[in-house]
Structure 1
Amino acid sequence: MSDENGTPDTSKGGPRPEPIRFFGTTWVDHDGGYAARRAAVAAGSLATAAVSCLVLGFAYQGLQIANVGEPVTLLVVVMFAVCSVLAFGHTWGAFTKRPDPERQATLRGLLAIGFIGSLLAYFARSLSEAPGEKLHRQEYETARAAHEKRTTRRTGDPSRKRRS
């Protein structure tokens, strides 16, 4: 059950779901405009990727105008393509398991260069769910189960229990 802000009711205590960027906690019950948000995220990430490709096209034309030579131009195109593929894979993997913070820090430059791959991963994931929803749902359900296990009360008097 959620309130009007999309925040799940935790008046009984227990773990709170972690908000996801652009979705808050609407991913828990798929309410509060969840479907519209998913459509907006998909459209926005695809539009941003398209505009980014146009900007990279201008950069390519700049290299042609500067007449830097074919090897440099080819190197730049291959660099953006490889970094985009690697960024797509890294971003896609981050939707299913938490990335290592140290590895994330070392890949920061690669992810910045391959930003188009990250945008496309965000677009592709938002077609089926909120990006990161599966991971957050898993963690939330695990935390809820652990909380339930901790808070269940025993029935009966333990001192009257028969010993075998």
Structure 2
Amino acid sequence: MSDENGTPDTPGGPRPEPIRFFGTTWVEHDGGYRARRTAVAVGSLLLAAVCGLVLRFAYQGLQIADVGPAVSLMVVVMFAVCSALAFGHTWGAFAKRPDPQRQSSLRGLLAIGFLGSLLAYFVRSLTEAPGEKLHREEYDKARAAYDKRVSRRTGNPSRRRRS
């Protein structure tokens, strides 16, 4: 390994992009990859449970404040819809790079729907590092293009026979 992210020593070519919490251990599934995946799954599920508890306390605060059933219903629906949208957005970001401009415009919605993002992390980390499939596709494509470029140039081109 050549650096603190666990990036493998390669003679040349593209370097894999690190994934949050995993570095570049996703390339060879080494360096504690399985333990990291387990930690991410357990951590995101625990964090989602704690956040659900905090939301419950907030809802009970609304009931104690006696704001009325309409406001309570709006708050519940708002968190449910924002969580569902955040889950879908986070899940989609694991398969395709999100547009940075759209990402910044959805920042508020994603902050409100944090529970959905945490659950998306949990579900994805059961099968792979979140975002691994996208990073692997990009890395394999860059690696293949690099190998094709390098293998094409062998020998002195002026000495080749022309047929």
TM bin (shorter chain): over 0.9
Q: Which residue of 2 aligns with 1:7?
A: 7
Describe the SS at the equivalent of 1:22.
coil
Once the two structures are aligned, what percentage of the paired residues are identical? 74
Corresponding position of 1:89: 88
TM-score (norm 2): 0.93
Alignment of 1:1-164 (within 5 A): 2=1, 6-10=6-10, 12-152=11-151, 153-154=153-154, 157=157, 160-162=161-163
Shift of 1:156: 6.9
Change (3 A) 1:7 1:157: closer
Conservation of the 8 A alpha-carbon contact between 1:111 and 1:118: yes
Aligned length: 160
Q: Distance in 1 between matches of 2:157 and 2:62?
A: 81
SS in 2 for 1:68: coil
Partner Cα separation in structure 2 for residue 92 and residue 124 of structure 1 = 9
Task: Please give the alpha-carbon distance, in whole angstroms, between the structure 1 residues aligned to 2:47 and 2:59.
Answer: 18
Alpha-carbon distance, 1:160 to partner: 2.2
How far apart, CA to CA, are the structure 2 residues paired with 1:4 and 1:106?
35
Q: Deviations over 1:112-143 (max 9, x none)?
A: 00000000000000000000000000010011
What displacement does 1:154 show? 3.9
Displacement of 1:157 in angstroms is 4.5
Superposed CA RMSD in Å reads: 1.5
Aligned equivalents of 1:106, 1:48: Cα separation in 2: 25
CA distance in 1, matches of 2:87, 2:59: 22
Structure 1 unmatched runs, 5+ = none
Query: What residue ranges of structure 2 are gaps of 5+ in the alignment?
Result: none
